[in-house]
Structure 1
C-alpha cells in the first residue's frame, strides 16, 4: 500500500481529482469516455436470458427472492477487477461504496437495471451500495426489511404495505445484490425468509410486535430459512419486504465483496 494514497493523506483538491482515484485503482476507469462508449455500444445485448428473467420474476412473486448463477449472467464489467477495486479502496481507508466512483461499477449497475426491467418492470433508482465482509473482523448485517412505512410515507405513498406493490403483485422496490467474490456460508452469505413463512410480508408488521418472533414461533419454523450462496459473478434478488440478513462467517475464511443496486417503479 502506498502511504501517500491513503485516505488520511488526502486533501480536498486530491479527493476531487480523477487522477487520484485512477492511481488508487489503476485497473479501473474514471470518467473514461472511450470505456463508456464501449459500454454504450453494447446496448441491446442480453445480460441474462429472457427465460431466466421469467424464472426470477416467478420466484420473486412466490417467495420474495431469487438468484442467478454466474453462468446465467453476462456482465459488461470484469467482476474480478471490481472485487480488487473494493479491496484496494478498503486498504487505503475508503468505504467499499466508493467503488461507485468508477465507470465499471456503473456499467454493472446498467446491466443490473436491464435484468431488473426484464424481470420486474422496474427501473434503476441509483441506490447503489458496496460491501466488504472480512470474517475475521466483521460479519453480515442483522435481519431486517429494506423498507418499512416510515421509509415510504414521507414520499407520499400510503402507509399500507399494499401500496408498495403493483397490481400484478410485483414489488415496486427490488434489490439486486451482485457477488464480486464467492459468497458462501463459510465467509457470510445472504439468508432469506420466504414470503409464505412471513405474516408481515404483505400485511405489514404490528407496531408492538417483533416480526422475527411472529415468524419463528416454534422450532420447525427455523427450517424455512433459505441460505443463498452465490459464486463470484452471480447475484440474488429480494423485495423491500423480504426479511434477510448476512450470516457470520468462519473467522479464518476469505473475505468477500458485493455490490447492491436497487430498482424502483418510476
Structure 2
C-alpha cells in the first residue's frame, strides 16, 4: 500500500494504489453511469489523461461523471474559493462586450474618414499578414478564456463563463477588423452545439455517444470552413476598398474626394 512521506512534503506526479485496492472507472464511463459498490477498502480510479479528471470543470460533458463528482464537491467543500474570481471575470467580459458595441460605430467612421487621406497602398504581403493576424486572434479569443476559468469550478458555471469570455474577445476582433459577427462566432456556436451533443443523457453507451459527436463534427465542418472563407473574403474586400479610395484620394483634391461620401 502507498504511504505518504513522513515529513509532510507535497507529492508531485500521478500515483496509483495497488491493484487490489482500486476499481477502474473506464468501464463506467462507457456505460455512462456511476454505480460502483465500493467497499471500505475500495478506491475508484480515473485512468484517463490528467486533464480529464472529473474535478476539472471541462471534464463534463467530455466525460459523463463530472456532475456527480461536483455534486459531492458542492455538499462538502463548496465553491467559495472559485466564486470571486468567476464573478470578476464575468463583469470584465460583460464590460468588454459593452465597450466594443459602443466603439464599433466610431471605428467605422474612423476607417471611413481615413480613406480620404493619402497613404501607401497595401502590398499583397501586407494583405496576407492582415488575414493571418485576424485568424490568429480569432483562435486566441477561443483559447485564452479556457485557461482563465478556475480549474475546479463547477462545469455548469465554468462552461458559460468560458463561452462568455470567448464571445467578449471575439467582439474585440470583430470591432478591430470590422468583420461580420456571424462568421467569427460560428466556431463558438459549434462549441455550444457540441456541448449539447455530449451532454445528451439518453445514450445507451459511450460508443454511441462518440459516434454522435463524430457525426456532429462532420456536419459542422462545412459551416466552419464557410465561416473561415467568409472572414477572409471580408478582410480582402475591406483592404481592396481601402486601396481604391486611397488611389482616388491621390488623383483628386481632398475637397472633391470628400464629395464621394
Same-fold call, TM cutoff 0.5: no
> How does the TM-score come out when normalised to structure 1?
0.27
> Which is strand-richer, 1 or 2?
1
> How does the TM-score come out when normalised to structure 2?
0.27
* Greater RCO (Cα-Cα under 8 Å, separation 6 or more): 1
